[in-house]
Amino acid sequence: MKEIVLKTLILILFVCFSFQSCNKNQDELNPEIEVQDFIWKAMNAYYLHQDEISDLSDTKFNSNQQLESFLYNFETPEEIFNSLKKTSDSKSILIEDYIINDTPIPLRSSFTSGLEFGIFKNPTSLDSVIGYSSHILPLSYAENENISRGDFFYAVINQDNDTVRLAENNYRELLIDYPQDTLKLLMADFNVDTFIINNQRVDLVKKNYQYPPVLLKKVFDLGVKKAGYLLYNNDFSANYIGDLNAAMQEFKNESVNELIIDLRYSIGSDSYAKTISEIASMITGQFPNEIIIKETWNEKAQSWFELNQPDSVLTRYPTTINNNETINSLNLTDIYIILNGNGFIGSSSTELLINSLRPYINVHVLGNTTKGDNLGSISLYDSPDYDIYNSNLNHTYSLKPTVVTFYNKEDETYDTGITPTIQVCPIEDPLNLGELGEITDPLLNEVLQYVTTGNTGATTPCNTFELEVIYFSIDSQRLIDKGIFIEQDLPNLGR
């Protein structure tokens, strides 16, 4: 957290700068509107779009009494919060119970057999579909069974011991929401022209499973280049920062000078700007204490920060992670980020990482154009300085409003998205998956060609037989991206 030392003069300046006069009535606020009062004052002070919302204007009210009269028009905290948001703002949220909401997010886990799969329409049979294994999760139940990446299945044996073929109207019930303890798959061979039942059956049992952050890591010797390959499985939250740091140490030990981060099976989601800066330092390391991220707040807050604490709106390359563990830096000049998938356009954390690194090293994006989420949020509580400490004990509401726009060292942002360096197949070809981590994997082979030569050579055909993939299990696991969050001590503007 960045410390803010407030001098008496500055406190007086800001109380007078806000909508309230310096002769503010000190009568206690009616408890019926104290949450509404907190919401208005917090949004007036720090909401990024404050100057676009007429009801948040500093000149809207001439006295505290006028503000209170306005607050009585809203029966619930939700009602006033929604009225003060910009219509297009889908990121800012009101929290009813921050005690529950602020509980640390646990490591990613689920009840699964370990089979990740897709479903495509069977071109040889009307209404029937075929399942295929995209990959098997390590240390899961399925890892020890006779099923692997690229295998096909066409039917299941249900709880009544009946054989039921997969169809468009039943595959969810049979493969996802099935009531029995064991999923019994009937396997087949398939090559578009022929469909052959091979009399093999695979039984899979769901178990409690904790997802590893890294599915696979490997080093490829490409002559003068030595590429570390990391197939990443989860989000870029602080939960996995230690695992990433350990993986970088392994790459460092093998003298890796290129890095490929494969996000085709990642689940996206949100992160903190601090965590992204730590990951950036793992990739680089040759720019300690240089500016990596700049924040721009609303005009009122930005003016205060620039005048009093200009360094508080800057994030610099760190040398340690939260527990003071030294960051294992690779000192790279090039990184390759794979962003492919059926409709997968990365995440806010990926975008911030890419944009922040670009002034310093070559960032090669392989896959899809990203969505362009360049905004950041912060948690605000009903206390004198909006911190959780000394917060109002009469309620448990808090805010997570959008408060900043992110820029890199060169004042570049990415509100229109990040265009890929090269495009790769948006979705893997079910008939040509190859082996993960090997050059038989068409996607990885294409990327390795690019790392080696600067071009991809002969482009691998995407879905040669135009199979219509209607379901992919990773898509259903991808979380709603709540954006990037910051942690920062704040002056008590308007309180």
Looking at this protein, which amino acid is placed at residue 66?
Q
Specify whether 373 is located in the same domain as 451: yes
State whether 448 and 352 are in the same domain: yes
Q: What is the pLDDT of residue 495?
A: 72
Asked if 228 and 81 sit in the same domain, the reply is: no
For residues 441 and 296, state if they share a domain.
yes
pLDDT at 332 (0 to 100) = 98
Q: Which of 411, 401, 323, 282 is nearest to 359 (CA)?
A: 411
Print the domain residue range for 205.
109-210
Domain assignment of residue 101, yes or no: no
Query: Which pLDDT belongs to residue 458?
Result: 59
State whether 158 and 82 are in the same domain.
no
For residue 329, being part of any structural domain is answered with: yes
Q: Tell whether 189 and 267 lie within a shared domain.
A: no
Q: Tell me: do 136 and 171 sit in the same domain.
A: yes
197 beta partners: 188
State the pLDDT at residue 99. Answer: 94
Whether residues 167 and 37 share a domain: the answer is no
User: What is d(CA 267, CA 212) in angstroms, rounded to the nearest whole number?
Assistant: 12
The model carries a pTM of 0.90
The residue among 52, 87, 122 that closes a domain is 87
Give yes or no: residues 412 and 314 share one domain. Answer: yes
| Res 7: pLDDT | 37
CATH number at residue 388: 3.90.226.10
Residues 82 and 140 in one domain: no
Neighbours of 70 (CB within 10 A): 16
Co-location of 194 and 310 in the same domain? no
For the stretch 262-309, pLDDT in tens is 999 988 888 999 999 999 999 999 999 999 999 999 999 999 999 999
pLDDT < 50 regions, the chain: 1-26
Structural domain contains residue 472: no
User: Considering the domain boundaries, does residue 450 fall inside one?
Assistant: yes
**CATH number of the domain that 164 lies in?**
2.30.42.10
Residue 3 domain flag: no
104 in a structural domain: no
Instruction: Give yes or no: residues 249 and 153 share one domain.
Output: no
Number of domains in the chain: 3
Q: What is the pLDDT of residues 274-283, one digit of tens each?
A: 999 999 999 9
pLDDT at 58 (0 to 100): 93
Which pLDDT value is given to residue 460? Answer: 64
Show which of 87, 119, 137 is a domain's final residue. Answer: 87
Which of 96, 102, 92 lies closest to 401, judged by CA? 92
For residue 203, tell me if it sits in a domain.
yes
Domain boundary among 87, 118, 143: 87
Question: Within a domain: residue 313?
Answer: yes
What is the reported pLDDT for 26? Answer: 45
